[in-house]
C-alpha cells in the first residue's frame, strides 16, 4: 500500500512541478481556458501525433527518441487525458507504454492497486489537467459557490471549461475536497446524456455524443474549445422594454445551425419593462474557429450599445501532427 501511495504522490507532485515550470497558472489567469496539454507537449520538444490506433488510446515511445501517440477515434476529453497520461510517463522517466481503455476506467484515487508506473501516470494526468486552482478560477469567473457544485448541470459545465470528462471532473473535485464522497457518488449517478436532454429541452440532436455549452455574459472574452458538432446555448438578459435587442446574426453568418431562438418574458411580479431572457441554441456543422461579437442595441441607433458580449471558439479535431506543432512550423 505504501508503494501505491508513493506512486500517486509522485505523479501528483510531478504534475504540480511541470505546471509551475510551464507557468500554467499565470497563463490561465490572463487568458482563461484549460490546461493545453497538447501545446505543453509540443513546447517540451516532444513529437505528438494523432492517428487511428488499433485497440489503443495512446502510447509513449521512449526510443530512439521520445514521442507520444494519441488516437483520433475518441472524443476530445479522452484524447486530452490520454495525452496527459503519456506525458506523465515521459516526464517521470518511465519505460515505454501502450495504453488501452483501462487508463480511463481506473482511478488513481480509488484504493486499488495496479502497475505503479500506470498509477503514477494516471495521478499525473488527473492533477495536471485539473489542479485545484483551475476549478477555483472558473468558479470565480462564473460566480459558482460551493453549493453550485451540488448541481450536476454546473459540474458538467465545469468539466467542459477544464476540458475533462464529467466523470473525471466529479472524482477530482472530490479529491480536492470540493465534494464529499456521498455527493460525488450522487453526481456520478447522473449521466451526461440526461444533463444534455435537460439543457436542450425540446430539441433532440441526431446523436447525444456532442457536448452542450451554456454561455452567458460571464463568458465574455473567453475561448470555447470543443468539437465540430458541439452545441452552445447563449443566455443573455435583453432590455427589449427600452428598445434594446441583441444582434445575434453572426451565428448564422458563421455557418452555425440555429435550432432555437426564444425570449422568456419576466414574471408578472417583475417590474414592467424589466429585462427578458434571450436564449439562442446553435450547433456547429463543421470544424471551425472564430469569434462571436454580440451587441445589445436599439435597431434605429446601432452605434449606441448598451451591452457587449464576445467569445472565441475552436471547434476542431486533431489529426496527424498536433495543430500547435503545425502552427509553429507554419504547416497547414
pLDDT in tens, 144-189: 999 999 999 999 999 999 999 999 999 999 999 999 999 999 999 9
Residue 328 lies in a domain: no
Confidence at residue 273, expressed as pLDDT on a 0 to 100 scale = 54
Whichever domain contains 301, its CATH number is 2.60.40.2020
Residue 299 near residue 252, CB atoms below 8 Å: no
* Residues 6 and 33 grouped into a single domain: yes
Confidence at residue 325, expressed as pLDDT on a 0 to 100 scale = 73
Confidence at residue 199, expressed as pLDDT on a 0 to 100 scale = 96
Residue 115 lies in a domain: yes
Residue 321 lies in a domain: no
Indicate the residue among 169, 190, 211 that finishes a domain: 190
* Residues 151 and 86 grouped into a single domain: no
Confidence at residue 114, expressed as pLDDT on a 0 to 100 scale = 74
Write out the residue range of the structural domain in which residue 107 sits: 2-129
* Residues 170 and 112 grouped into a single domain: no
* Total number of domains constituting the chain: 3
Indicate the residue among 190, 216, 239 that finishes a domain: 190
* Residues 239 and 306 grouped into a single domain: yes
Beta-carbon contacts of 156 under 8 Å, excluding residues fewer than 6 positions away, are 166, 192, 195
Confidence at residue 332, expressed as pLDDT on a 0 to 100 scale = 55
Residue 267 lies in a domain: yes
Which phi and psi (to 5°) does residue 323 adopt? Answer: -55, -40
* Residues 246 and 300 grouped into a single domain: yes
* Residues 272 and 182 grouped into a single domain: no
* Residues 272 and 180 grouped into a single domain: no
* Residues 184 and 290 grouped into a single domain: no
* Residues 265 and 217 grouped into a single domain: yes
Confidence at residue 116, expressed as pLDDT on a 0 to 100 scale = 87
Residue 64 lies in a domain: yes
Confidence at residue 105, expressed as pLDDT on a 0 to 100 scale = 72
* Residues 59 and 114 grouped into a single domain: yes
Residue 331 lies in a domain: no
Residue ranges of the chain whose pLDDT lies below 50: 1
Residue 281 lies in a domain: yes
* Residues 9 and 121 grouped into a single domain: yes
Beta-carbon contacts of 81 under 8 Å, excluding residues fewer than 6 positions away, are 103, 104, 125, 129, 164, 165, 168
Residue 198 lies in a domain: no
Residue identified by cell 501516470 is 121
* Residues 140 and 215 grouped into a single domain: no
Confidence at residue 304, expressed as pLDDT on a 0 to 100 scale = 87
Amino acid at each position: 500500500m505504501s508503494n501505491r501511495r508513493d506512486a500517486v504522490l509522485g505523479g501528483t507532485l510531478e504534475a504540480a512541478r511541470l505546471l509551475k515550470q510551464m507557468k500554467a497558472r499565470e497563463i490561465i489567469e490572463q487568458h482563461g481556458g484549460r490546461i493545453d496539454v497538447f501545446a505543453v507537449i509540443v513546447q517540451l520538444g516532444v513529437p505528438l501525433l494523432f492517428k487511428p490506433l488499433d485497440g489503443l488510446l495512446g502510447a509513449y515511445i521512449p526510443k530512439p527518441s521520445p514521442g507520444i501517440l494519441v488516437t483520433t477515434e475518441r472524443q476530445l476529453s479522452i484524447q486530452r487525458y490520454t495525452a496527459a497520461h503519456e506525458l506523465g510517463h515521459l516526464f517521470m522517466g518511465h519505460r515505454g507504454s501502450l495504453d488501452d481503455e483501462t487508463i480511463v476506467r481506473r482511478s488513481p484515487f480509488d484504493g486499488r492497486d495496479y502497475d505503479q508506473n500506470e498509477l503514477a501516470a494516471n495521478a499525473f494526468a488527473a492533477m495536471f489537467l485539473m489542479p485545484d486552482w483551475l476549478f477555483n478560477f472558473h468558479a470565480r469567473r462564473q460566480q459558482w459557490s460551493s453549493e453550485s457544485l451540488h448541481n450536476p448541470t454546473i459540474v458538467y459545465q465545469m468539466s467542459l471549461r477544464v476540458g475533462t470528462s464529467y466523470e473525471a471532473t466529479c472524482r477530482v473535485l472530490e479529491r480536492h475536497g470540493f465534494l464529499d464522497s456521498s455527493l460525488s457518488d450522487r453526481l456520478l449517478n447522473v449521466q451526461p446524456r440526461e444533463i444534455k436532454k435537460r439543457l436542450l429541452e425540446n430539441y433532440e440532436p441526431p446523436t447525444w455524443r456532442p457536448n452542450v455549452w451554456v454561455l452567458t455574459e460571464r463568458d465574455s472574452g473567453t475561448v470555447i474549445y470543443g468539437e465540430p458538432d458541439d452545441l452552445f446555448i447563449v443566455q443573455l438578459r435583453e432590455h427589449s422594454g427600452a428598445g434594446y435587442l441583441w444582434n445575434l446574426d453572426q451565428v448564422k453568418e458563421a455557418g452555425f445551425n440555429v435550432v432555437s431562438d426564444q425570449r422568456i418574458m419576466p414574471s408578472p411580479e417583475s417590474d414592467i419593462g424589466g429585462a427578458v431572457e434571450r436564449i439562442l441554441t446553435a450547433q456547429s456543422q463543421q470544424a471551425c474557429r472564430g469569434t462571436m461579437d454580440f451587441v445589445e442595441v436599439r435597431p434605429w441607433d446601432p452605434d449606441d450599445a448598451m451591452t457587449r458580449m464576445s467569445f472565441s471558439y475552436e471547434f476542431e479535431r486533431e489529426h496527424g501532427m498536433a495543430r500547435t506543432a503545425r502552427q509553429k512550423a507554419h504547416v497547414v
